A and B are shown apart, each in its own frame.
Chain A
Amino acid sequence: MRWFELISRIDRRIIYLLLTIFVILPFFIPLKISQNIMYQTKKLFDFIEDIQPNDKAVIISIDYTPQTQPECHPMALALLKHCFRRHIPVLGVSFDPQGPGLAVEAFAMVANEINREATNHQDSIIYGEDYVYLGWKSGRIAAIIQMGESIKDVFPRDYFRNLIDSFPLTQRIRNYKDVAIAIIVAGAAYSDEWVMYAQPRYGIRVGAGVTAVMAPEYYPYLQVGQFSGMLSGMKGAAEYEKLIFDHGYTKVPGKAGTGMDSQSMVHLLIIVFILLGNIGYFFTRRKR
């Protein structure tokens, strides 16, 4: 067998083995490659930076599933850290039935992390005062539109069955007029409805955190300003983590940075394999 035939017939088990090594290795030997920040990530960060503390709320719609958790969960965590550290109230919602489990974990994780370091009541993150998780609701388009009139009409109780009127935060935040931005962190096209229905009618600003494969779909929304920023894939999450780390909102680097090392290594490996496949294909064709 000639060399070009050899490189065009690499056994798939070798590919799988190398892929496994390239994914795992950066978890033990971090590459620590610095992230260049994309403008859409910076735009979303700057938008949240400009929100006045203890004033308007940020809605974070957690609409991803365990399948897209590695890309989307670090986004949600970084966004929550940023909002909580700046004392921006957060309302959590989900329109994907698998969202609540991950949303509850994200809110609890970030709130606990901040509360461990808190020295007084003002530094702490209190449920009902600083954030409320409203849970999942069916009929997402109707719910998104109706929340513009009254959040309480759509979510009379939170995810834990408490009346939302019993919380100081939801007594104050009544509809989209009291919301600075809705950020949809999703593994599917959930942000479209916010742009199509909630934004034209109520003028709410929309941001998004989407998986890398979905990101190209949303560039038109970004260009015309229908999105006030976007985090695309694990790279977007790693960039946001870097921004909040550099600005001193967290002392612990996030997981997306490590994930980016693995992802970059795997991308490199795939590029090498594609090149090998094409070189093999080119020489085999020439021989024929």
Chain B
Amino acid sequence: MKRTIPQAICLMIGIVMVVQFFVPHPISLQFNSMILKWVIVLTAFAMVLAIGNLIMHHTAKIEKKREGWYYSLVTLISMVVMAIIGLCLGVESESLFQKIYLNILAPLGSTMFALLAYYMASAAYRAFKARSLEATLLLIAAFVVMIGFMPFGQYLHPKFPAFAEWVMQVPNMASKRGILFGIAFGSIATALKIILGIERSWLGGKE
């Protein structure tokens, strides 16, 4: 029963929503609107679960004094403090919430991401070698696109940026389109398998 009822709901809603897309009748549109509102509300509940999970995970870590428990404490304190500040003092552009976000969270996030540049430069130097024909082609393509998209590219040759653009618009686009078709067919197949109950892993657990 635990699996049959969710599968029946999935089958029914799945088929109804597919049919609904092609029926522009007011009742059909109203039904679609109602389902979409439900989805928005249900997704918001997922956030509640996520917050609950975060609190449980970090509380357990602090209680058992596991390695790095003080980071968990910082996480929990930050979450509670930001929530209180946001709810009590507002989120306007001059608010304390906004000041903390822009002056603490944003620089921290940017710094973490900026570190990638160092690793990428070092990794490119060590690993990006013309070891085979494929690797050489990749290397040439990367050079063309990098130089062509740089403002310097136009000074090397006036047609260099246009050539880089051609690489993006023809060989790149051909491969991307192939991948997109693959993804689209795969998505349709997976959706059908879920609606028809062939794919059941989304239910989780055991029978």
> Which of B3-11, B54-62, B71-79, B144-152 is the contact stretch?
B144-152
- Asked if A28 CB lies within 8 Å of chain B CBs, one says no
Chain B neighbourhood of A277, CB < 8 A: 124-126, 128-129
Asked whether A188 is an interface residue with its Cβ less than 8 Å from the other chain, the reply is no
Kindly name the residue among B37, B93, B108, B165 whose own CB sees the greatest number of chain A CB atoms within 10 A: B93
B122 touching A15, Cβ below 8 Å: yes
Taking a contact as CB atoms under 8 Å apart, the answer to whether A105 and B176 are in contact is no
* Residues of chain B within 8 A of A223, CB atoms compared: 169, 173
How far is the CB of B131 from the nearest CB of chain A, in Å?
Answer: 8
Q: Chain A 58-74, CB within 8 Å of chain B: the 1/0 string?
A: 00000001111110000
Asked if A10 is at the interface (CB within 8 A of a chain B CB), the reply is: yes
Q: Are A274 and B125 in contact (CB under 8 A)?
A: yes
Please name the residue on chain B nearest to A269 by beta carbon.
Answer: B121
Q: Are A220 and B29 in contact (CB under 8 A)?
A: no
Q: Does any Cβ of B come within 8 Å of A276's Cβ?
A: yes
CB distance A217 to B108 under 8 Å? Answer: no
Is B143 engaged at the interface, CB distance under 8 Å to the other chain?
yes
**Minimum CB–CB distance for B206 against chain A, Å:** 29
User: Is B113 touching A216 in the complex (CB atoms < 8 A)?
Assistant: no
- A16 contacts the other chain (CB 8 A): yes
CB <8 Å contact, B176 and A219: yes
Asked whether any CB of chain A lies closer than 8 Å to the CB of B18, the reply is no
Segment 75-126 of B: residues with Cβ below 8 Å from A: 90-93, 98, 101-102, 105-110, 112-113, 117-118, 120-122, 124-126
Taking the complex as formed, is B23 at the interface, i.e. its CB lies under 8 A from any CB of chain A?
A: no
A142 at the interface (CB under 8 A from B): yes
Output the residue of A16, A19, A139, A217 with the most chain B CB within 10 A. Answer: A139
Question: How many A-B residue contacts, CB cutoff 8 Å?
Answer: 158
B152, A264: Cβ atoms under 8 Å? yes
Map CB proximity to B onto A266-284 as digits: 1 under 8 Å, 0 otherwise.
1111110110111001100
Query: At the interface, yes or no: A100 with Cβ under 8 Å from chain B?
Result: yes
* Contacting pair A281 B129 (CB below 8 A): yes
Whether the Cβ atoms of B44 and A138 lie closer than 8 Å is yes
Contact of A160 among B91, B102, B109, B128 (CB under 8 A): B91
Does B188 reach chain A (CB closer than 8 Å)?
Answer: no
- A108 interface contact, C-beta 8 A: yes
**A68 x B93 contact (CB < 8 A):** no
Across-interface contacts of A98 in B (CB, < 8 A): 109
Q: A187 to B117, alpha carbons, bound, how many Å?
A: 16
Q: Known A35-B151, A137-B40, A219-B176; judge A10-B102 contact (CB<8 A).
A: no
- Which of A138, A141, A220, A266 sits near B176, CB closer than 8 Å? A220
A159 contacts the other chain (Cβ, under 8 Å)? yes
The reply to whether the CB of B133 lies closer than 8 angstroms to some CB of chain A is no
Give how many A residues have a beta carbon under 8 Å from the other chain's beta carbons.
65
**Shortest Cβ distance from B21 into A: residue:** A201
CA of A260 to CA of B152 in the docked complex: distance in angstroms? 11
**Interface contact B124-A142, CB-CB below 8 Å:** no
Asked if B2 CB lies within 8 Å of chain A CBs, one says no
A146 pairs with B152, CB closer than 8 A? no
Asked whether A33 and B151 contact (CB < 8 A) given A102-B106, A216-B172, the answer is: yes
Interface assignment of B198: CB less than 8 Å from any CB of chain A: no
Question: What separation, in Å, do the CA atoms of A273 and B124 have in the docked complex?
Answer: 8
B46 at the binding interface (Cβ < 8 Å): yes
Is A114 interfacial (CB 8 A cutoff)?
Answer: no
* A264 touching B125, Cβ below 8 Å: no
- Interchain nearest-CB distance for B180 vs A (Å): 6
Q: Could you tell me the distance between the alpha carbons of A69 and B43 in the complex, rounded to whole angstroms?
A: 26
Name the A residues within 8 Å of B105 (CB-CB): 66, 101
Which 6 pairs across A and B sit closest by C-beta, in order of nearness?
A66-B109, A139-B43, A142-B39, A108-B93, A33-B151, A67-B113
Name 10 extra pairs, CB < 8 A, besides A104-B93, A264-B150, A267-B150. A35-B151, A36-B154, A66-B110, A69-B110, A98-B109, A139-B39, A201-B21, A215-B168, A266-B121, A274-B139
Chain A contacts to B: CB under 8 angstroms: 10, 12, 15-16, 19, 23, 33-36, 38-39, 65-70, 98, 100-102, 104-105, 107-108, 137-139, 141-143, 145-146, 149-150, 153-154, 159-160, 201, 212, 215-217, 219-220, 223, 235, 260, 263-264, 266-271, 273-274, 276-278, 281-282
